[in-house]
Amino acid sequence: MTNTNELLDAMRGETLALEGGAPVITHEFPRYNSLGKEEQDAVQKVMESGVLSQFLGCWHDDFYGGSKVQAFEAQCAEYFGVKHAITVNSWTSGLIAAVGALDIEPGDEIIVTPWTMCASATAILHWNAIPVFADIDPQTFNLDPESVRRNISEKTRAIMAVDIFGQSADMDALRTIADEFNLKIISDTAQAPAAQYKGKWAGTLGDIGGYSLNYHKHIHTGEGGVVVTNDDALAERVRLIRNHAEAVLPDREAMPINNMLGYNFRLGEIECAIGIEQLKKLNGLVESRRALAERLAEGIRKLPGLSVPYVADGNTHVYYVFPLLVDPDITGVSKFEIAEALKAEGVILATQYQNLHLLPMYQQKTAYGNSGFPWSADFTRQDISYDKGICPVAEDMNDRTYLGFGMCTYDLTESDVDLIIQAFHKVWAHKVEMSR
C-alpha cells in the first residue's frame, strides 16, 4: 500500500464522484456467504432421515432435542470451553431465556447499554423487569464500568454486558462491580463469537451468555443462537424455558417454578446440522476478517480527524462492524458529509447506530397496554430516567462522530480493501483538506 501523503497527493488530481468524477469503486462487493457444499450435504442427510425436529414438549428423552441438536450443543460447549451450550431459535430468544433463568422479579433492574440491538433491552421487559441504561466507553463502545456503578440502585440485579461490534466489554471491571453488589452478569456476545478477552472466549465470562446465529453473523444457521454457561441450574432453567417449561414441571424433581413460563425457542435438526459445519469454519473466517480489518485500519489511520477501531489491551476483535470516529473540529466537515462523499465513491457507511433510551417505548414508558406498565407499577422504582443526556458519550457519538462500515456484510479481498482506502484518501484530499 502507498503511504498516506503519496495517496493524498495522487487523489488531489481526481474529481470527487459527488462532483461528476469517476468513483473509486465501480463494482458491488460480493455478499458475505459462509455456506458451502459441507452445509448442503449435511442438510441433505437430515432431509433423507425425515426427522426435521425431535423435540417433545413433555417430559421425555426427546425433551432436549434430536441427535443434531445435541451434537451441535456438545461441540459448541467444547469449542467455547463451557459446561453447557443450549441452542435456541434466535439470540433474542436466548436473551429472554437467560434473563428469566436468573430469578429476576418484576420491578428488578438490569443495567444495559443503549448501543445495542433493541432485543438486549426488551428481553428484560419480557419479565416485567426494567432496563436501566448506562453510558458507553468512548473507545470500545462497550459499557463504561463507572457509568454502570453510578446507575446501581437497590433494585439492580444484573448487568447485561454487550460485546458490541466484535470485542469484549471490560469484564474484569464489570465482575468487580458485580461481586461488590451481588449482581449477575449476562454476556450478550451476538456480534463477537471467537473474540477473546485475556485469553478466554468472549461470552463465557459472565454468569450466562451467548451468541447469535443470525444469517449475517460470522457463522450462522439462518436464524438461531447459542446460550452458554458453567452454571448447572441456569442451564437447566434455560432448557426449560426453551421448551414449554410449565408443561413438564409436574413430572420433574422438585425445583423452583418462578419464571417457568415456557416458550417454543427450539432450534431444529437442519439448523443444527448446518451449525456443526459452520463451527468448523469459525476460526478461519474470523482470522480472514481480522486481517482485512487490520489492513484497512493501517491504510487510513493517519488521516486527520479520523480514529480507526481501538482494540483494548487483552482483547482480540472480530470486526462484525468496523467502527470509526470522526472529529468534525479537525475535519471541518460533518460525518454526514463525509459519508455522503464516500457513498458516491462506492463505500457505504452507517452514520448512526442506536440510542435505545431515546426510542418511543422508553420515552413514553409504555410496553404492555396503554397504562405505562411495567414502569407505572407500584413494584417499580418511579424515578428511572430515559431523558436525553443520561448517556452523553453514546448520544454525542450518534449525533456527531460515529461512522460504521459493515464488515459482516461483504466478502472482501485485499484489493477491495485497498480500493476502500483509496476512496477515503480521495474524500480527505477534497472534502477535508479544502475545508481546513
For 16-55, write each residue's pLDDT tens digit.
999 999 999 999 999 999 999 999 999 999 999 999 999 9
Count CB neighbours of 148 within 10 A.
26
> 345: exposed, middle or buried (C-beta count within 10 Å: 0-12, 13-18, 19+)?
buried
Give the model's confidence band at 5: pLDDT under 50 very low, under 70 low, under 90 confident, else very high: confident
Give CA–CA dist 137/156, Å, rounded.
21
Q: Which residue has the cell 463451527?
A: 279
User: Within its chain, how far is the Cα of 45 from the centroid?
Assistant: 32
Contact 250, 109 (CB under 8 A): no
State the pLDDT at residue 217.
95
Query: What value does the mean pLDDT take over residues 77-82?
Result: 98
Query: What value does the mean pLDDT take over residues 279-303?
Result: 97
Q: What is the CATH number of domain 4-33+282-352+394-435?
A: 3.90.1150.10
Domain boundary assignment for the chain = 4-33+282-352+394-435, 37-278
Count CB neighbours of 209 within 10 A.
28
Pairing type for strands 130-133 and 109-112 reads parallel
Q: What is the DSSP string of 136-183?
A: B-TTT-SB-HHHHHHT--TTEEEEEEE-GGGS---HHHHHHHHHHHT-
> 313: exposed, middle or buried (C-beta count within 10 Å: 0-12, 13-18, 19+)?
exposed
Type of residue found at 377: A
What CATH class is the domain 37-278? alpha beta
> 71: exposed, middle or buried (C-beta count within 10 Å: 0-12, 13-18, 19+)?
middle
Query: What value does the mean pLDDT take over residues 223-230?
Result: 98
Contact 111, 158 (CB under 8 A): yes
Nine-digit cell at 20? 461528476
Percent of residues, the chain, with pLDDT higher than 70: 99
Please give the C-alpha separations between residue 16 and each of 11, 22, 108, in angstroms, as whole numbers: 9, 7, 54
State the pLDDT at residue 10.
86
State the pLDDT at residue 124.
98
State the pLDDT at residue 2.
63
Give CA–CA dist 232/92, Å, rounded.
21
**DSSP conformation class of 200:** E
Kindly report the CA angle at 81 between 75 and 84, in degrees rounded to 5? 65
Task: Decide whether 4-33+282-352+394-435 matches 37-278 in CATH topology.
Answer: no
State the pLDDT at residue 79.
98
Give the model's confidence band at 4: pLDDT under 50 very low, under 70 low, under 90 confident, else very high: confident
Give the model's confidence band at 130: pLDDT under 50 very low, under 70 low, under 90 confident, else very high: very high
Nearest to 239 by CA among 104, 65, 35, 424: 65
Query: What value does the mean pLDDT take over residues 222-238?
Result: 97
pLDDT tens-digit map of 342-379: 999 999 999 999 899 999 999 999 999 999 999 999 99
State the pLDDT at residue 1.
57
State the pLDDT at residue 433.
78
Pairing type for strands 200-201 and 196-197 reads antiparallel
User: Within its chain, how far is the Cα of 396 from the centroid?
Assistant: 21
Q: What is the DSSP string of 356-381?
A: GGGSHHHHHT--BTTTTBTTTSTTS-
